[in-house]
A and B are shown apart, each in its own frame.
Chain A
Amino acid sequence: AQKITQTQPGMFVQEKEAVTLDCTYDTSDQSYGLFWYKQPSSGEMIFLIYQGSYDEQNATEGRYSLNFQKARKSANLVISASQLGDSAMYFCAMRVNTGANSKLTFGKGITLSVRP
Chain B
Amino acid sequence: KAGVTQTPRYLIKTRGQQVTLSCSPISGHRSVSWYQQTPGQGLQFLFEYFSETQRNKGNFPGRFSGRQFSNSRSEMNVSTLELGDSALYLCASSLGTGLSNQPQHFGDGTRLSIL
CB-CB under 8 A from B42, the residues of chain A are 106-109
| Complex Cα spacing A33 to B99, Å | 9
Q: A43 contacts B98, CB within 8 Å? A: no
- Please list the residues of chain A having a beta carbon within 8 angstroms of any beta carbon in chain B: 31-33, 35, 37, 42-47, 50, 52-53, 91, 95-109
- Decide if B67 is an interface residue (CB 8 Å cutoff): no
| Complex Cα spacing A37 to B35, Å | 14
How many of chain B's residues have a CB under 8 angstroms from any CB in A? Answer: 26
Q: Interface code B15-48, partner A: CB below 8 Å = 1, 0 otherwise?
A: 0000000000000000001010000001101001
| Complex Cα spacing A52 to B98, Å | 14
Q: A100 contacts B56, CB within 8 Å? A: yes
CB-CB under 8 A from A101, the residues of chain B are 56
A-B contacts besides A95-B102, A102-B98, A103-B48, 11 pairs, CB < 8 Å: A32-B100, A33-B103, A35-B104, A43-B88, A43-B109, A46-B106, A53-B100, A96-B100, A103-B33, A103-B56, A109-B42
Q: B92 contacts A102, CB within 8 Å? A: no
CB-CB under 8 A from A50, the residues of chain B are 101, 103
CB-CB under 8 A from A104, the residues of chain B are 33, 35, 43, 45, 92, 104
**Contacts of B49-77 to chain A: CB distance below 8 A:** 55-56, 58
